[in-house]
Amino acid sequence: MGQISISSQALDRLLADSTSTYGASYQKAFNELAASHRGRPAADILPLLRAAADRALLGFTAADLAEQAAAISTGKSYELRVTVS
């Protein structure tokens, strides 16, 4: 399970929201990678997740991204704990 703390103004960068004008939500990118990269090596997925996190201006740790890549690779669920300030 990963954790991230973000401001309430940055929530649309994390979560896909049809009313948002921000076009690079991390949730959307994660879901697309989960659908297209299941079964591929986590090492192939990791740089794609890092790029998505960078586009969304989110500060995931290397360990969180590695866990997410492993979850996508294996098709397992990934739980992210979000603290909004």
What are the DSSP calls for 46-66, one per residue? Answer: HHHHHHHHHHTT----HHHHH
Q: Which pLDDT value is given to residue 59? A: 87
Average pLDDT of the chain is: 88
pTM of structure = 0.85
Say if strands 2-6 and 80-84 run parallel, antiparallel, or are unpaired. Answer: parallel
Cα(74)–Cα(38) distance, rounded to whole angstroms?
6
State the amino acid at position 69 in one-letter form.
A
Q: Report which listed range, 2-16, 32-46, 52-66, is most confident.
A: 32-46
Mean pLDDT on 57-74: 93
